[in-house]
Amino acid sequence: MPSQKIGSKDSRKAPQQIQRRKLVEEFARLDSEVNQFKPSLLRHEKLRHIILGWYEDLAAEEEGLAPGEIHDIVISSRDQMRTVTDAGKLKLFKLWGPRGFIAKSLVLLKSLPDPKDELSLYTRKDLIGPRHLTVRLKAAASSAA
């Protein structure tokens, strides 16, 4: 019987594999809980948009109040956001030069002449987006194979 060194890869792998399996099981449990909660999140977001729609004419610095039977909802003033003016863009273009300006600029897809861009004249599609995790029961995974 071959002797195994105390610090070998096999002795370190076993606890790591056990920990990984525990994390997979925890993720699967939480994934189930999140999936059960998704309809509530979608409904919450839909109601949020409906309520905000009632106050579209509210001035940016004003707050509003949506009264309910038991609860009221306070609609806050708009958050401040900084944007670069046309004069600022021109100054940055001169400061950074054409290549630097283009490299540091962010163009929103909705700003393109053809947002769909089927011919890929303005955009590029690459597999660089986030990955997704799908939880499966082992029995379902082995019977599908």
Q: Mapping DSSP to helix (H, G, I), strand (E, B) and coil, where does residue 136 land?
A: coil
Give the residue-averaged pLDDT of 1-27. Answer: 76
Name the residue among 89, 120, 114 with its Cα closest to residue 102: 89
Scanning the chain, the segments in alpha helix (DSSP H) are: 9-53, 86-104, 138-144
| 78, pLDDT greater than 80 | yes
> With b meaning 16 or more CB within 10 Å and e meaning fewer, what string describes 20-51?
eeeeeeeeeeeeeeeeeeeeeeeeeeeeeeee
Domain residue limits, the chain: 8-80, 82-124
CA distance 97 to 90: 10
* 77 HSE (CA, 13 A, CB side): 6
Q: What is the pTM of this model?
A: 0.59
pLDDT at 142: 55
